[in-house]
């Protein structure tokens, strides 16, 4: 995920299989029967105070084990956050212990957007970490400010406070194209507009609305970045090379605490491994009839074509999670989708598919084709307007065992909530992990380790390439690590950044001071 350098991946792989999706793994034994979906359902934990609610290590050696606890991670990440956040920033990432399974994913008011935020929405926005000039980021749990040029209007005005403004899609998408800065954080744009997917194409739904993305970072990783000054590119080089003799592991993200027995209660966030998420959101402002099928929120969005910053209701269509653990130092990657995205073997949704029109014909309906932007150099038919729907399909059929597991979990969510949970309309696509990861150095990855970073082969359910139709629409034939192995620190040194593309977007305070001196010199010269 997450700061994806599209040219890099295309040059090396002609692919951007950024898959982010990953999973925290449990310490409990795998299901008694590897193919028994009901066994998995019986093991799912809906008590946020339990030690099995947010697992920390994976000692399973079978795919069914990873699939099951991928769903456990989904539950933990999408549990309501402690209602004391954001007033108390320290509560970010902490689940609401008063909430129950009967309330999981249930909208507080039918026909209205969700009024509470999931745990992962309180995580730190990636664009609030890597800022122009490399200043120290604001503290954990401090919310992203609403862009100054955005004002709440109409029916959404009453929803501009509370949890609504904290789950935003502005982190990547509110971009001032003239000055190339993110409006929400002031971060200079160093990557394509964030409506762009990994492989260089945007995604427009069948209603003509663009999909918007956001990236989040968990507390253990955030603390590691801040404590080591990694928000500054110059410090990344020091850490990656261990030139200060204080970082023998090089730039190696935290793997969390090794726990061999199921703890009695949930571990502190600081004892978890590195955790990154990427979410894809579809605009649903004028579709209240769909709110009951989506995790919804009100978000600030700025379309790249109109440059207007508007407040919209958005629904989650894709979610990647990657997590590093002691037993999986090369991360576990898991990904989820909303069930109405594209055809996948089931009945056609009553409202149609979000990203596929089965009746579509002609060149515009060729599936999974990245678009060319219409601008001064491209005019139709040699380009595609942003509001032209993209015809998306699933390139890799969902394995039968995964379908059975998804059905069992979805039915459980429905039964617990009397059919009201929005999460009964989400599915696990696949999980990517390694059976025998071996670090390139010990401890790994170690100082001066260059890309491509490899711990050995990855596996997935039925060896299917793991890809999300909303986040890797155009590159569904490759796995996440095919691209993430080339993730490097800022500055182009090719020193590995432990699979995370976030670090490549860091600025440097030294660079900023130098630029300011040059600009001051130029001004002085011009004055004379």
| Contact present, 1 and 278 (Cβ < 8 Å) | yes
| Contact present, 137 and 128 (Cβ < 8 Å) | yes
Q: b vs e for 163-180, b when ≥16 Cβ sit within 10 Å of the residue's Cβ?
A: bbbbbbbbbbbbbeeeee
- Centre a 10 Å sphere on the Cβ of residue 123 and count the other Cβ atoms it contains: 25
Q: Helix and strand tally (H, E) in the chain?
A: 9, 9
| Contact present, 4 and 472 (Cβ < 8 Å) | no
The pTM for the full model equals 0.86
Query: Tens-of-pLDDT digits for all 528 residues of the chain?
Result: 433 333 334 433 332 222 233 333 333 434 334 467 999 999 999 999 998 898 666 667 789 999 998 999 999 999 999 999 989 999 999 999 999 999 999 999 988 999 889 999 999 988 889 988 999 999 999 987 766 666 665 555 545 433 343 333 332 333 333 323 332 333 333 333 445 665 667 899 999 998 988 889 999 999 999 999 999 999 999 999 999 999 999 999 999 988 887 788 888 999 999 999 999 999 999 999 999 999 998 887 766 766 677 788 899 999 999 999 988 999 999 999 999 999 998 889 999 999 999 999 888 899 998 888 777 777 777 788 888 999 999 999 999 999 999 999 999 999 999 999 999 999 999 999 998 888 777 556 789 999 999 998 999 999 999 999 999 999 898 888 888 899 999 988 899 999 998 998 899 987 655 444 444 544 555 555
Determine the straight-line distance between the first and last CA of the chain, rounded to whole angstroms. Answer: 49
- Give the integer Cα–Cα distance in Å for 62 and 147: 46
How open is the CA angle 135-323-211, to the nearest 5 degrees? 75
Beta bridge partners of 216: 125, 277
For 426, the 3-state DSSP assignment is strand
| Contact present, 278 and 17 (Cβ < 8 Å) | no
| Contact present, 506 and 134 (Cβ < 8 Å) | yes
- Give the integer Cα–Cα distance in Å for 389 and 385: 9
Tokens in use for 503? 């670090």
> What are the E-state strand segments in 189-284?
212-217, 275-283
Distance (Å) of CA 190 to CA 336, 472, 488: 28, 20, 15
């Amino acid at each position: 995920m997450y700061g994806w350098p599209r040219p890099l991946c295309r040059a090396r792989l002609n692919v951007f299989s950024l898959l982010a999706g990953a999973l925290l793994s449990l310490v409990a034994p795998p299901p008694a029967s590897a193919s028994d979906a009901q066994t998995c359902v019986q093991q799912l934990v809906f008590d946020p105070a339990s030690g099995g609610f947010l697992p920390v290590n994976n000692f399973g050696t079978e795919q069914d084990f990873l699939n099951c606890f991928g769903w456990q991670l989904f539950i933990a990440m999408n549990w309501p956050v402690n209602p004391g956040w954001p007033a108390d920033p320290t509560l970010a990432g902490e689940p609401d212990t008063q909430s129950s399974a009967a309330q999981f994913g249930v909208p507080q008011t039918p026909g209205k957007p969700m009024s509470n935020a999931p745990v992962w929405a309180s995580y730190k926005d990636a664009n609030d970490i890597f800022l122009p000039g490399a200043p120290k980021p604001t503290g954990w749990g401090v919310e992203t400010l609403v862009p100054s040029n955005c004002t709440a209007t109409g029916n959404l005005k009453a929803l501009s406070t509370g949890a609504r403004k904290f789950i935003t899609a502005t982190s990547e998408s509110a971009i001032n194209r003239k000055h190339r800065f993110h409006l929400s954080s002031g971060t200079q744009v160093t990557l394509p507009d964030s409506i762009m997917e990994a492989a260089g194409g945007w995604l427009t739904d069948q209603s003509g609305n663009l999909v918007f993305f956001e990236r989040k970072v968990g507390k253990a990783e955030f603390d590691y970045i801040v404590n080591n000054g990694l928000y500054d590119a110059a410090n990344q080089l020091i850490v990656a090379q261990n030139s200060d003799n204080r970082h023998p592991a090089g730039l190696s993200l935290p793997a969390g605490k090794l726990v061999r027995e199921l703890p009695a209660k949930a571990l502190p966030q600081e004892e978890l491994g590195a955790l990154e998420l990427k979410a894809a959101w579809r605009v649903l402002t004028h579709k209240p009839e769909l709110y009951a099928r989506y995790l919804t929120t009100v978000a600030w969005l700025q379309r790249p074509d109109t440059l207007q910053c508007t407040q919209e209701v958005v629904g989650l269509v894709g979610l990647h999670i990657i997590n590093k653990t002691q037993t999986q130092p090369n991360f576990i990657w898991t990904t989820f989708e909303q069930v109405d995205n594209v055809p996948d073997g089931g009945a056609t949704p009553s409202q149609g598919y979000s990203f596929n029109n089965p009746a579509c014909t002609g060149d515009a309906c060729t599936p999974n084709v990245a678009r060319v932007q219409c601008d001064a150099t491209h005019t139709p038919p040699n380009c595609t307007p942003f509001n032209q729907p993209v015809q998306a399909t699933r390139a890799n059929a969902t394995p039968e065992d995964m379908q059975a597991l998804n059905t069992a979990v979805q039915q459980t969510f429905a039964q617990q909530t009397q059919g009201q949970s929005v999460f009964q309309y989400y599915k696990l696509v696949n999980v990517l992990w390694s059976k025998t990861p071996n670090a390139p150095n010990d401890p790994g990855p170690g100082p001066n380790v260059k890309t491509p970073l490899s711990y050995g082969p990855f596996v997935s359910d039925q060896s299917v390439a793991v890809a999300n139709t909303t986040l890797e629409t155009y590159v569904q034939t490759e796995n996440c690590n095919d691209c993430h192995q080339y993730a490097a620190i800022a500055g182009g040194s090719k020193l590995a950044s432990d699979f995370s593309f976030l670090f490549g977007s860091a600025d440097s305070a030294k660079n900023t001071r130098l630029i300011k001196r040059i600009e001051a010199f130029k001004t002085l010269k011009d004055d004379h």
